[in-house]
């Protein structure tokens, strides 16, 4: 596998967390205040930045950030122009979501253009998988496993938390300056380019990845799928990438943790034939 | 004595009928589904202000009767009929409901205003996302998802 492919796959497989984490952290810092609306927002406004408004993140803001990120993703790299495949992924995703215990989140799934395997989630349940990832899978339980992993990131608010925890640099200053003289400007809309870019390129830490892995196993088991779906897909992709095991031993631990969670002969549906009908 | 008992029973019966719980739709439109799940096939819809008779409660859902249809509705989308609402302390309750209704109403209208503003400022096309959302809704409401899950013997049972 080419190096570029390996790096792109990082968000899905949590490979290279350390190397990509710093840039992600930097970007998160630059928008952190915009979405946490911490107390310095008031101080900045008091210091004379006209047009700066405190912006806290509630369900409506999360929904707007999720939607905007989804809109940015479906624009570029772009939603795959294949209703049959999008509908299939939606149905598999809803099947996993049906046992995830969050009836209040309207999970929405889609296939995006991309020649490298990847999956992306955005707040309030927007989940995308690249066509390349789909075509590397062997059966429906593998797809369910990857979607379950992303569903967990959404339910556990991993993305929003990563941005909130980053705190740091005051993007409100930047946003406030940009909005000065246009008091009607909405800081959230002003911050949207950075926020959507952040979520499009989100890299979770290893602890978050493992939480999402274990949740996925739990969802698959509850939904009646073979719970080894995610483990088989990750294991195969890591092996295909050659030296990744040697340079990132944490990945071997990750597969082992998945294996321990599923146990021997877990049973469940793989639905390889149905998968092959849609993913040709 | 027998006659008195019958009269008493009849009175109790009437009382029971009179006490059937009725809730009102507070969002722009509510989905009445075949099961207590937001993924269940759509049975009917009811507009804001429609009065639904509650037959049963289960978790966050109520089984209701509306016109000739029966099905399940999220309790968060219902509220006591306006005339039944208490005053005073209940104003907090009222405010909560209004906030909830506003949120639901916004949700049912489609994309958030910030999303649409961002689509204009960044020249992003919201159509592909809207199409994905619309197709998802159709898959659920038509019962297509339920049939898919049943065929594969997967999903919430």
Question: Could you report the per-residue pLDDT of A26-83, keeping only the tens digit for each?
Answer: 333 333 333 333 333 323 233 333 344 445 677 888 899 999 999 999 999 999 999 9
- ipTM for the complex? 0.79
Q: Centre a 10 Å sphere on the Cβ of residue A162 and count the other Cβ atoms it contains.
A: 22
Q: Which residues from chain B sit within 8 angstroms of residue A64, using beta carbons? A: 112-115, 118
Q: Is the pLDDT of residue A247 over 50?
A: no
Cα(A189)–Cα(A182) distance, integer angstroms: 13
What is the pLDDT at residue A38?
36
Sign for the pseudo-dihedral over CA of A18, A21, A23, A26: negative
Cα(A200)–Cα(A121) distance, integer angstroms: 8
Range 218-277 of A in CB contact (< 8 A) with B:
222-225, 269, 271, 274
Q: Is the pLDDT of residue A172 over 50?
A: no
Sequential DSSP letters for A179-199: HTT-TT--HHHHHHHHHHHHH
Q: Which residues from chain A sit within 8 angstroms of residue B136, using beta carbons? A: 90, 94, 106, 108-109
pLDDT tens digits, A99-141:
999 988 999 999 999 998 999 999 999 999 999 999 999 999 9
pLDDT tens digits, A73-92:
999 999 999 999 999 999 99
Beta-carbon contacts of residue B48 (< 8 Å; ≥ 6 apart): B25, B26, B27, B28, B29
Please indicate whether, in this complex, the C-beta atoms of B152 and A75 are within 8 angstroms of each other: no
What is the pLDDT at residue A167?
52
Please indicate whether, in this complex, the C-beta atoms of A64 and B140 are within 8 angstroms of each other: no
Give the pLDDT mean for A159-185: 54
In contact, B54 and B36? CB cutoff 8 Å: no
Give the pLDDT mean for B61-90: 84
Decide if A185 touches B, using CB distance below 8 A: no
- Which candidate, A82, A85, A90, A130, places its Cα nearest to that of A108? A90
Q: Is the pLDDT of residue B52 over 60?
A: yes
Band of the pLDDT at B109, cuts 50, 70, 90? Answer: low
In contact, A175 and A187? CB cutoff 8 Å: yes
Q: Residue A79 — left, alpha, or beta (φ > 0 → left; ψ -120 to 50 → alpha)?
A: beta
pLDDT tens digits, B15-43:
445 578 999 999 899 999 999 999 999 99
Percent of all residues in chain A with a pLDDT value above 70, rounded to a whole number: 70
Please indicate whether, in this complex, the C-beta atoms of B154 and A59 are within 8 angstroms of each other: no
- Which candidate, A198, A197, A196, A191, places its Cα nearest to that of A165? A198
Q: Which residues from chain A sit within 8 angstroms of residue B140, using beta carbons? A: 94
Average pLDDT of chain B, as a whole number: 81
Which class for B42: exposed (0-12), middle (13-18), buried (19 or more C-beta within 10 A)? middle
Decide if B145 touches A, using CB distance below 8 A: yes
Please indicate whether, in this complex, the C-beta atoms of A86 and B132 are within 8 angstroms of each other: yes
């Amino acid at each position: 596998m080419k190096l570029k492919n390996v790096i792109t796959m990082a968000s899905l497989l949590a490979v290279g967390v350390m190397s990509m984490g710093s840039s992600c952290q930097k970007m998160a810092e630059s928008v952190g205040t915009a979405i946490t609306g911490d107390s310095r927002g008031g101080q900045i406004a008091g210091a004379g930045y006209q047009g700066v408004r405190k912006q806290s993140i509630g369900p409506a803001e999360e929904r707007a950030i999720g939607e905007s990120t989804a809109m940015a993703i479906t624009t570029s790299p772009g939603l795959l122009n294949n209703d049959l495949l999008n509908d299939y992924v939606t149905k598999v995703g809803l099947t996993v979501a049906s046992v995830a215990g969050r009836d209040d989140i309207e999970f929405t799934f889609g296939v995006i253009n991309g020649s490298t395997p990847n999956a992306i989630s955005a707040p309030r349940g927007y989940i995308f998988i690249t066509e390349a990832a789909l075509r590397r899978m062997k059966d429906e339980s593998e797809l369910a496993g990857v979607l379950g992993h992303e569903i967990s990131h959404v339910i556990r608010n991993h993305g929003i938390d990563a941005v909130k925890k980053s705190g740091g640099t005051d993007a409100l200053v930047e946003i406030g300056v940009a909005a000065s003289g246009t008091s009607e400007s909405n800081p959230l809309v002003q911050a949207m380019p950075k926020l959507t870019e952040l979520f499009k390129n989100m890299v979770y830490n290893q602890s978050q990845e493992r939480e999402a892995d274990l949740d996925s196993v739990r969802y698959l088991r509850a939904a009646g799928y073979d719970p080894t779906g995610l483990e088989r897909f990750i294991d195969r992709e890591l092996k295909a990438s050659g030296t990744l095991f040697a340079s990132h031993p944490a990945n071997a631990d990750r597969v082992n943790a998945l294996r321990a969670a599923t146990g021997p002969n877990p049973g469940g549906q793989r639905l390889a034939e149905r998968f092959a009908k849609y993913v040709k | 004595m027998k006659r008195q008992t019958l009269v008493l029973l009849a009175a109790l019966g009437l009382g029971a009928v009179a006490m059937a719980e009725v809730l009102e739709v507070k969002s722009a439109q509510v989905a009445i589904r075949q099961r207590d799940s937001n993924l269940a096939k759509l049975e009917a819809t009811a507009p804001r202000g429609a009065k639904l008779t509650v037959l049963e409660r289960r978790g966050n859902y109520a089984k209701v009767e509306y016109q000739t249809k029966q099905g399940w509705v999220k309790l968060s989308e219902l509220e006591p009929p306006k005339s039944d609402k208490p005053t005073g302390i209940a104003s907090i309750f009222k405010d909560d409901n209004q906030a909830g209704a506003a949120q639901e109403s916004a949700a049912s209208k489609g994309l958030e205003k910030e999303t649409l503003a961002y689509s204009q400022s960044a020249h992003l096309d919201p159509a592909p996302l809207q199409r994905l959302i619309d197709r998802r809704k159709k898959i659920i409401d038509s019962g297509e998802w339920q049939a898919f899950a049943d065929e594969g013997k997967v999903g919430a049972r």
